[in-house]
């Protein structure tokens, strides 16, 4: 009996997904927001599944501005499962669309960033996304690329992960 209990304690625990409601008080860049919970606890949220241009990179300011237009000073719901090494919550950020009052938080801000050509789908972390989200993010990125909108207007856009490594 004790052996079974001890064995169960050694098994890895599943990641438990959580939902957080907070009000966005700041935008760090095109994939990171700052918000306050109902208990006035500040949280940094990194949008799961996307990587936006760095601030000094082409389209960095536009990406930040676009995300700001979607979520700044608005209440969002964050579906999360983890924190990164900097303590940021990694999650999908849901907000009520500006053109649909009383619809509730039905707009995925990360997907909207991709659809506008303001971010890359972060394939490196695709396995951390639910399948449906992964497929929709891939689709939105391809559509933006096909339509040559946002950062896809650049003839040779440099992904932020290459930019950060100095491949400019």
Yes or no: say if 126 and 51 are a contact pair by the CB < 8 Å rule.
no
Residues 6+ apart with CB under 8 A from 75: 21, 22, 23, 24, 95, 96, 105
Active site residue 46: yes
Output the six-digit token pair for 7: 């064995």
Catalytic residue among 3, 23, 44, 46: 46
pTM for this one?
A: 0.87
Catalytic residue among 44, 54, 123, 134: 54
Output the six-digit token pair for 23: 């009000």
Q: CA-based Rg of the chain, rounded to a whole angstrom?
A: 18
- 34-79 tens-digit pLDDT: 999 999 999 999 999 999 999 999 999 999 999 999 999 999 999 9
- 91-133 tens-digit pLDDT: 999 999 988 888 999 999 999 999 999 999 999 888 889 999 9
Domains of the chain: 13-164 (2.40.50.90)
């Amino acid at each position: 009996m004790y052996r079974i209990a001890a064995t169960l304690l050694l098994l890895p625990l599943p990641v438990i997904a959580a939902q957080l409601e907070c009000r966005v008080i700041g935008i760090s860049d095109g994939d990171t927001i700052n918000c306050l919970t109902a208990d006035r606890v500040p949280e940094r949220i990194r949008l799961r599944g996307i990587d936006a241009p760095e601030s000094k990179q082409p389209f960095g300011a536009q990406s930040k501005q676009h995300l700001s237009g979607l979520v700044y000073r608005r209440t969002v719901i964050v579906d999360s499962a983890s924190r990164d090494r900097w303590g940021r919550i990694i999650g999908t950020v849901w907000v009520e669309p500006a053109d649909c009052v009383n619809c509730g938080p039905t707009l995925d801000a990360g997907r909207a960033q991709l659809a506008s050509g303001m971010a890359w789908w972060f394939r490196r972390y695709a396995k951390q996304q639910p399948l449906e989200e992964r497929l929709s993010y891939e689709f939105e990125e391809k559509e933006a690329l096909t339509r040559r909108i946002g950062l896809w207007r650049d003839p040779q856009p440099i992904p932020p992960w290459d930019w950060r490594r100095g491949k400019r």
